[in-house]
Each structure stands twice: as structure tokens, then as C-alpha cells.
Structure 1
């Protein structure tokens, strides 16, 4: 795989540079040009400039942003997790064609690392303590409050940039009533040394190889993700899988059947005993569709299907498109039956 990160420019707020975490990150790339910025959200040459579409991947590779997260808030969720933790990063070095993060960040979304990790960790510790023990099981977890720590980034990649994710994993290891959770498409084997003691749930996102070749740009190959599951379970992580997004290609059902059989053959008894899954059908976005046409039009042949999709207003007011409700319900039922047949030990926690 082409080098994921070759940081040459670091756009940085003054407060982020002055922090201990900021200094740690700058020391990792001593030859990078440091560009002072007033706000990590407002960098004209990175965000909002449509000329950057053709440089989409290059910017992800070479640029890094350091900022201070101003709003440190935990939000209720109740779907994949009980709560969404404050982000310790935003953006990604990978370039999945369906990713929703660029919809907010404009025409490019290199990683922004938030350096006020101590403030975020203290907030989370207080929030967990306030909840007390979980008294009723739910789809997120039967016993622990689950906090998604990677809503706007991929934590496996973030861990290559700073110690933020490691600090949160260490924090949750000490919190018997809660666990951290994040989805990933990157196999970072450095995490195997963390000893999370079952308090961090890593969710490997999986999809058929032929679809992933088109849509999952710069990610770890699907076979590598499956092969990593046993190792992460053995290292003390809880490992689930995300079957997402499900893209309705002409051969989608046959392709997913083959993928599920690869999972069955590729993991051992210990992983199977604790496995659970999320199932998420594709939601796309018109603005992202237009952006993708500028750098990866082939992906849009799979993702943009007006003949199958209908408009949907998201929770944050975005105008998205999703598969038509009646068709999606039928396909979702069919897919869940497929999982029950091929992976009968794999509980589906959440399906959408």
C-alpha cells in the first residue's frame, strides 16, 4: 500500500502548538513546514477550495492540522453506542468514497488532531462516573456503557499520529462500567501491545473485496482485516465487525455470501464466541457525489443510483440519499437471514 502519511505541512493553532501533545506531534515530523492558522476549521488552501478535488489524496497524505477542540461534549446515541464521545481527531488519511466527514469540511479532509486530550479525558471520566452502573442491557452492550471515540476519524490511523487514542484506551481500562468503541478500516498492529483488558471494542468494517477495491481507497485489504481479528481478540480487545456500507451492486448478495464465508473460515473459536455485528446500508450525499466526480468518478457508478435511491434528511439537516425504504427493508431482511445462515454465532446488534 502506498505510504499513508508523508507529512510535509502542519497547519497549527497557536494554542495547539503550545500544548504538550502538540509538541509531541511536531517532534514526529521535524522537517514539516509549520503554518500558523487562526482556526482549524478555516484554512482556505485546505477547506472550501474546489480546486483541491484533484489533489484529494495528496492533501490527505501530506497535510496535518493541529487544533484545540472548543466544544467538549458527550452526546447520547443509542444505536451503535450509548454515547458519542468528544472527538480527539477529525478527518482521515484514507479516502473511502462514501465517507460523510468531507461533507462538513469542504473539498479536502486531512486529519485534524485535537491536542487538548487531558480536558477530553477528564470530561469522559466524569461523564462515565455520572452514569453509574448500567442496569438494563441494550443493543449497544449488555453490561457496559459504550462510548464511540471515533465518530469523525479512524482511530487506528489516529494512533499513528499521536497518543490520543492510547490515552483513551488506558482510561477506559480503568472504568469498569464503560468501554470505548471505534470502527476501523486500517490494521494497525501497534495497538496489539496496548492491553485494553476488554474495555475497548474495535469494529473492523468489512465489505466484499470487489466493491472495496473501488470504494475503500488507501485502506487495509479486506483479507488483512479479517486475518487481524483473532490477533486483536488475543490481545485483549473486544472485536466486532461492521458489515457496512452495503452497496447494492448487481451481484451484491452473492458477493456478501462469499465474504461471510471468508469470515467463517478466517477466525477462530475465541473470536466467534464474542463476535457481534452492525449492518448498515449505504447512505450517500449529493454534494459528496459532485466532489467524487472530480477525483474518483468510477466509485459513483456504484454509489449514485437514482433508480434505487430516495432523498433523506439526516439528523444534522444534511440532504442525503438512501435506498428506497420498501426495497431496503426487503434487502435488509434478506441480509440478516444470510448472516444467520452463514455466521449463526454472530449477533446483529444494530441494523439500518
Structure 2
């Protein structure tokens, strides 16, 4: 486990139904001194969600507040990029404070972790869905032989594992599914994961970016040097470890910075880690609402994320206004990035880039 913990839980908002479950009781025992506040719904907490006055307490709320809820929706959504399916997450929100994170767009001015206690419902839904799929008969860019389920679309499972055994239980489930593999992206080094014995059935995607940029936008995460240093150990512990270059942020000197990062990766990885390496590449999409939130707690980040001279607006499918790099610029940038990656890390398969 990393020496510096991102959590200091002092207040727990809880749904009584969740608190009564065995996993809910386990979580409450883990934080015995935290104040407990009953709420009707984990999605609508007066004074927390939508409270503009909390934006200046962004970091404190993330570290000190936990929401304990009951997961109702158990749908598996088709994906096709990071995974074949997006699984129903056992958490929503994060104690880390990446300035580009899209999850706060849906929660308003506070984005602490909501963790779900009905673990058995989620495990059963995963098992049933995988069994219905049968064997994967045609390889795709996600995986050559297994159906891959993303477990952490809206959270960081390495941090979630500090709260309960939900992550361990999911990894143990996938050891028993002969046709399916778990996957999640992370920016936090939790060395307890080395004891989970995934047996090659869990893919961990380490998010990487140049350290100078990460120090500005990846608040509360593990330093890039720690993430790189953990890759070989995780491979030896039985994980498949890929790289997640997301988001790629364009700034003056960005190609030189990424060239240096690729060279650091090459210098650190063991032959075994290199042999199984693959990467996904996603260029930054920013959001007008998130920009306004960030101005309230971390204006410096917006000098990197909000660059209208290189960006154009586009309405999202949820009705918000997003900023993406201009079409011609982005196409050339993606080509430049992937060319650099193939030159410096020729053994690293690029699963997709956009």
C-alpha cells in the first residue's frame, strides 16, 4: 500500500438499506469514528450535491466524506474500446482530484466516493451475463479471446480497495469465469492489490502522462515514478498491465515531454512486462461546466485544460457543452503521438487512439 492515503473519512452519508447489509456493516466498522447521517437517496443529498458553496472545499470533501448506497441498476453496457462491456460499478466518484474528471459533471459541486454495499447483486449479475456470452469466437481490439468487463468507469478501484473488499471480491469472481476478464484504469498505487491473486484474469490499466503535467492536473494521485515502479510487480503478481494515455493534453513542448515519458517507461519495464504491453490513447475532452467548477478550486489547471485557441465546442449527448481539440489539429496530433509511441516502445500494441 502506498504510504500516503487519499482518505480521511470523517462523515458518512448512508442509505439505511445499504447500511444493513453485511458489506455496509463492514464499511461502517472500518470507519468507526465517522459521523453517520441517514439519507433517502445516495444521488440526492441536500447540502452536498449541487451546493455551489462547497466548491472551495473540493479536496476536503473528497477526502473526508463517504456515501454508502445501494446499487439498483445492474445493466451491462456495450463498449468496444477499453472493454467489451461496462459493468455496473460498485463505486461512483473518487477521493483523487484529477482536474479533467468527467464524473463531477453529473454530481455538481461535490464528488466524494459513493460506494455500494450490495456486492452480491453485482457479482451475480456479472456471472449471469458472462455465462450468457459463451466463448468469444472472434478476436477484437479489446481482447483476442476473452470478454472484458470494465469495473471502474466512474471510480478508481485501487482507491476503492481502501474502503472495503468489493474490489477483491470482483477480482476473485473473474478467476472463476473461463471466458471473461476484468479491467480497470487507475492512477493510484495500492500494493495490497499484489495479494489478490488475479491469475491473469484482471487487466489493470495504469494512466500515464508527463510528470510536469500530472503535478498540475492529477491532484492526490500517486506520482508517475511510483506508477511506473509498480508495473513489474503487478505483472509478477498475475495482472495483465496495460498503459492508459488519457487524457493526452496538448501544450507547448508536449511531444518532447511524451518522448521522455516513453523513454522512462522503456527503461523501467521488465522483459515480461514489455511482452504483454498494450496501450489506449485518448486526447482531452473538456467541459464548460467542469471549467466553472475548476475555477473555484484549481485555476492553475485550467491553463492546461482550457485552451480555446486549439479547441472547438461540441454538444455532448447529455446536453452539456464540451471542448475538444479542433478536428484537423487533433487528427495530426493523434498521428504524431502514435508515431512517437511506436518509435520509442515498438513492442507496445496501440489498441485504439482518438
TM-score band, normalised by shorter chain: over 0.9
Query: Conserved in 2, the CA contact under 8 Å of 1:2 and 1:218?
Result: no
Task: Work out the CA distance in 2 between the residues paired with 1:114 and 1:350.
Answer: 31
Aligned to 1:329: 331
Task: Work out the CA distance in 1 between the residues paired with 2:37 and 2:198.
Answer: 36
1:96-107 aligned at under 5 Å gives the runs: 96-107=98-109
Task: Work out the CA distance in 2 between the residues paired with 1:317 and 1:201.
Answer: 33
Cα deviation, residue 216, structure 1: 0.2
Aligned to 2:204: 202
Task: Work out the CA distance in 2 between the residues paired with 1:86 and 1:11.
Answer: 21
Aligned to 1:273: 275
Task: Work out the CA distance in 2 between the residues paired with 1:240 and 1:181.
Answer: 10
1:35-46 aligned at under 5 Å gives the runs: 35-46=37-48
5+ unaligned residues in a row in structure 2: which ranges? none
Residue 222 of structure 2, aligned match among 203, 220, 223? 220
Q: Secondary structure at the match of 1:160?
A: coil
Task: Work out the CA distance in 1 between the residues paired with 2:237 and 2:345.
Answer: 23
Cα deviation, residue 4, structure 1: 1.1
Cα deviation, residue 89, structure 1: 0.3
Cα deviation, residue 316, structure 1: 3.8
Aligned to 2:77: 75
Aligned to 1:108: 110
Query: Conserved in 1, the CA contact under 8 Å of 2:62 and 2:113?
Result: yes
Task: Work out the CA distance in 2 between the residues paired with 1:16 and 1:167.
Answer: 17
Task: Work out the CA distance in 1 between the residues paired with 2:4 and 2:71.
Answer: 30
Q: TM-score, normalization: structure 1? A: 0.99
Describe the superposition over 1:84-129 as per-residue Cα deviations: whole angstroms up to 9, x where unpaired. 0001000000000000000001101100001111001000100000
Instruction: Name which of structure 1's ranges 310-319 and 11-20 shifts more when overlaid on structure 2.
Output: 310-319
Task: Work out the CA distance in 2 between the residues paired with 1:317 and 1:127.
Answer: 31
Query: Conserved in 2, the CA contact under 8 Å of 1:156 and 1:188?
Result: yes
C-alpha distance 295-2 of structure 1, shift in aligned 2 (>3 A): farther
Task: Work out the CA distance in 2 between the residues paired with 1:64 and 1:345.
Answer: 41
Task: Work out the CA distance in 2 between the residues paired with 1:316 and 1:152.
Answer: 16
Describe the superposition over 1:202-234 as per-residue Cα deviations: whole angstroms up to 9, x where unpaired. 000000000000000000000110110000000
Task: Work out the CA distance in 1 between the residues paired with 2:353 and 2:22.
Answer: 41
Cα deviation, residue 265, structure 1: 0.2
1:80-229 aligned at under 5 Å gives the runs: 80-229=82-231
C-alpha distance 294-2 of structure 1, shift in aligned 2 (>3 A): farther
Residue 230 of structure 1, aligned match among 221, 232, 237? 232
C-alpha distance 3-178 of structure 1, shift in aligned 2 (>3 A): closer
Q: Secondary structure at the match of 2:173?
A: helix
Aligned to 1:63: 65
